[in-house]
Amino acid sequence: MKVALSLVFILSTSAFAQVAELKLDELRVKKDFGGETVYTNATLTKVDPDGLRFVHDSGTVKVPFEKLPTEIQQRFAFDSEAAAKHRKEMAAAAMKEEEEVKRIRQAENDRIQANKDHQAKLAKSVTMLVRVISVDKKGVIAEQMGPGRPVASSMAAVGGGGGVGSGGLAPSGPPMYLFGNLPVGLFDDAMFRVQATPDGTFSYTTVLGSKSTVKSFEVLNYEGQKKNRTP
């Protein structure tokens, strides 16, 4: 590799702490597989443990010390072991940054997919007034309440309208299992309105010891909680 024309150095005592000025009319750097690249009006901007950074007429470039003339390597106290260590550290940092970018992208993709899944569940959801029959650790066995007929209707969101009342209501369907976004502190006979989407079936053992399988619903939203009667 040839470095043409003038070299001007203003050096202090430490190679990497030094204030160094290096200006080259031409900086010729050999390519790995033959030939060379010529950078015109190259000015040193930074000293790294493994090479020098220059600004030139066409942009910027970092040249490894191994591709610089011996006199420049000596001026900047080139240490091959320090260069190898620096490159290893930079590669590890780049890999860590890449992994973080992937993690952020995956988190965003997961958020988008979760929102799509939620919207799909909302589209299939029904709204029901329910009364709790029994409570377990993950959900409740409940029954739908209504004036002698089912009150379920397809909705995109839980409707308002006067809250939850118990006057004139009676069970209007078989028991079901509810889980998901339920009110905190549920108790037997609690009554509230839910927006829920079908989610297969649920099997459990009744208080009489018999096995029972009921429809299962994932609760997306709820409204109100009122005790229907004194246990």
pTM over 0.75: no
Grade residue 9 by pLDDT with cuts at 50, 70 and 90.
very low
Say if residue 7's pLDDT is above 50.
no
Neighbours of 125 (CB within 10 A): 24
Q: Are strands 211-227 and 170-180 parallel, antiparallel or unpaired?
A: parallel
Say if residue 207's pLDDT is above 70.
yes
- The pLDDT tens digits for 180-197 are 999 988 999 999 999 999
Domain boundaries, the chain: 3-78, 84-124, 125-227
Say if residue 88's pLDDT is above 80.
yes
3-class secondary structure per residue, 164-191: CCCCCCEEEEEEEEEEECCCCCCCCCEE
